[in-house]
Structure 1
Amino acid sequence: MGGVDARFRLLVSATGVSAYGNYLNLIALSLFAYEVTGTALGVGAVMALRLGCGFVAGPAAGALTGRVARRTVMICADLAQCTAMVTLALFAGMAQLWLLGAVAMVLGAGNTFFHVALRSAIPAMVGQDDRARANGMLVVTRSGATVAGFASAAPIIALGGYPLAFACNGASFAVSAAVLLVLRPRTEDETSEATGAANPGASEAGAGPSGGATARTGRLWWGATLPALLLGMIALRGVDALASASHNVALPLVAHATEPDRPALFMTRFWVAWAVGTVLAHLVLRRRRGASAWGERAFALGVCAMALAFTAAFLGLPWFALMAAAAAAGFADGWTEIVYTSRLQAAPDRQRSRLFGLSATAEQSGFALGTVAAAFALEALPALTVVAAFHGVAVCGALALLLVLAARGRPARAPKSASGDEGVDSHGTRTRAGAVPRS
């Protein structure tokens, strides 16, 4: 059984539940860290520890998921995070700084391990031809979880304090682990070993957008050789994360300045409009046909559009124009996420985990650096200037990738899948049966 069926939808729902807990925790843990440490520096240190562990876990997750079943990695990550949050909920009243730091480390590493395993397992769960549709479902679900998590944090904390918020987060991880245990989805590509044995070069050169002519220029510390364009995409993804940090840091300041009496309502409206845009991106991309829809060019153009839309959102627009800009940013955000993930998933099975491990490292480091740099910049510069400058860096990176693609003199196309079928030609017909859902 393969494709996007009822079992996969159930797994996506369970992933959405754990994502909701993560975004609820993002608010609750930050506020709780301030209560424990009493300083903004303490909050920053806890967040830096969380992001730092996520950064370090990237290459480790890529290596581990190449040796251990991805489903096992995800279940262990869920259970570890569940244990951490339940412990914090039980001892919130007497929490010490060391406990807060330990929880932040578990959350940072666990989140990276889970998502590296999940994203690299999608082709095995639904088949190569349905991977883009599956990625779209995950993006839409995550967007809804983002809005729900942010919006419900204040009421939950007001109702039961931090212990209730932490308990809800722990329960969300337990739900995710339970669904994985019950459904037991296949997360490994059965054809990967056979393909590697029959064509040893396929796993290294096959991920290039134009076949064997692709130059291989990136040798990672674990010995994998990757095409230059894939490394360029991953680098651009890291720059994009750096740019995204700027609007995440600046948005609360703009909310307080624009609607000082209702800053939470301002942010809720913004993120709801953004979530609507991601849904529209999924609806559009699921109807796209042809491998060129999932190539490097589509990703680079999406980064440009996202940078322009997020910058426009800080121009002091009327509320209806602001909502349109937020929706456009969400559309571009969803577009780049789906295209980027689908492109990396076209690589052979044994290479995918390492690709996503490297990607997680790039994204975590970009976002951490961007958060610190944007916070310092906002002390001296207006929000529009900071956001425009950071997103301008992302545009420059995207234009550089587009120039490289133009210089190559041929269209950037996604490769044939590891099973030998064309990447994503349709979303309704599968040429390879992949075991069901979740990674």
Structure 2
Amino acid sequence: TNLLGNAIKFTDRGSVRILLHLEHGGGAPLYRIDVIDSGIGIAADKLGSIFEAFVQADTSVTRRFGGTGLGLSISRRFARALGGDIVVSSVPGQGSTFAIGVACGPLDGVAMLNPGQVLEAETARLAATEQAHWQFPAGQRVLVVDDGPENRELIRLVLEECGVAVDQAENGKVGMDMALAGDHGIVLMDMQMPVMDGYMATRLLRSQGYARPILALTAHAMKGFEQQVAEAGCSGYLTKPVDIDRLLAAVADALGGRLASNADRAAATPQAAPVAAPTPIPTPALALAPAPALVPAPGPAPHAALPPLVSRLANRPRLHSSIRKFTSRLASQLDAMDTAWQAGDLAELAALAHWLKGAAGTVGYDAFTEPSAELEEHIAEADSAAITASLQALRGLQARIVEPESPADQLNDIKAST
């Protein structure tokens, strides 16, 4: 994901491709993944240093795009720990190719899939998943404690769709009082909130004998976080942006819910037939040719050619109201971020960046997550140029947002077509 994220970040126009295949060389076979972009490229004299920690190919790139220079270093360490490596070739102004090789071990008797089988099986799996739904015992209640109205609203809609009642609190103090007074099967507790944060609220609840599960919600699941929430008394945690499937599974585990699926469709999901041995795929060794030249396409400036941003939840009509509430609020929040920056209020700016990182991803606009996290880093470092560039980048993302249609818009479309 780091290599793919970099490719997208540094490619204003053209394409980013991922190629996956099995490479047979003189030694053990390798899984090979090529990430190929038509972006800004890397100068030849910089290729040897980009895998060093805290090093980027160009300081102007850091100012424009942000980042810490750790991603490639960590990615190469992972690849080498798995018995492989990462190599790169690049032509400035034309693009880069990063190739990952990972040792896959003995393959005798391992089933091999062709692309058609994979597509057919995945299509059937997705169709079965769409028909699956969670069932919960009657009368269950959940308490959601989060200062982000988008998070609370989305979780409420998802759980109520499964027949679970939801109560909401906007900070830890209100949440603690509601938990002690109510009968909730589980509490979903954000860790960073005003008035009283989730750590303090959880500690106070446990000190008063509260024994129900408390699940932490956080956008900062860094090293040591799991121990911190466990010491506070949390039963577990979920990261933000909230993944709906993981959320439902965690709540179901606490409330005794189960996943009811279409058994016939699941049974019909095609299975890959085993083969005696893999067929060798003729591929070049893990030494790459330079990326091919890209012929610039005619048209407007590169930023105008960027694709629209559509929420990944756009295919769930019940969640459209939450998506539209976020997009309506986004403009004022970005204005507030600009105001905080102009006033030199870094604490307020950091709080708004943290809100955006969680809220945007929760409603399916994942493109905001990494830039918002990088903005938080730049604020912590007091990097003025990078902060300004990040704020401009967020405005650029906002301009590309496409909202799901409201019922009134859909009705107007129907009338216009008749």
* Alignment TM-score, normalising by the size of structure 2: 0.28
* Alignment TM-score, normalising by the size of structure 1: 0.27
Q: Which one has a bigger Cα radius of gyration?
A: 2
Greater relative contact order (Cα < 8 A, sep 6+): 1
Question: Whose helix fraction is larger, Structure 1's or Structure 2's?
Answer: 1
Question: Whose strand fraction is larger, Structure 1's or Structure 2's?
Answer: 2
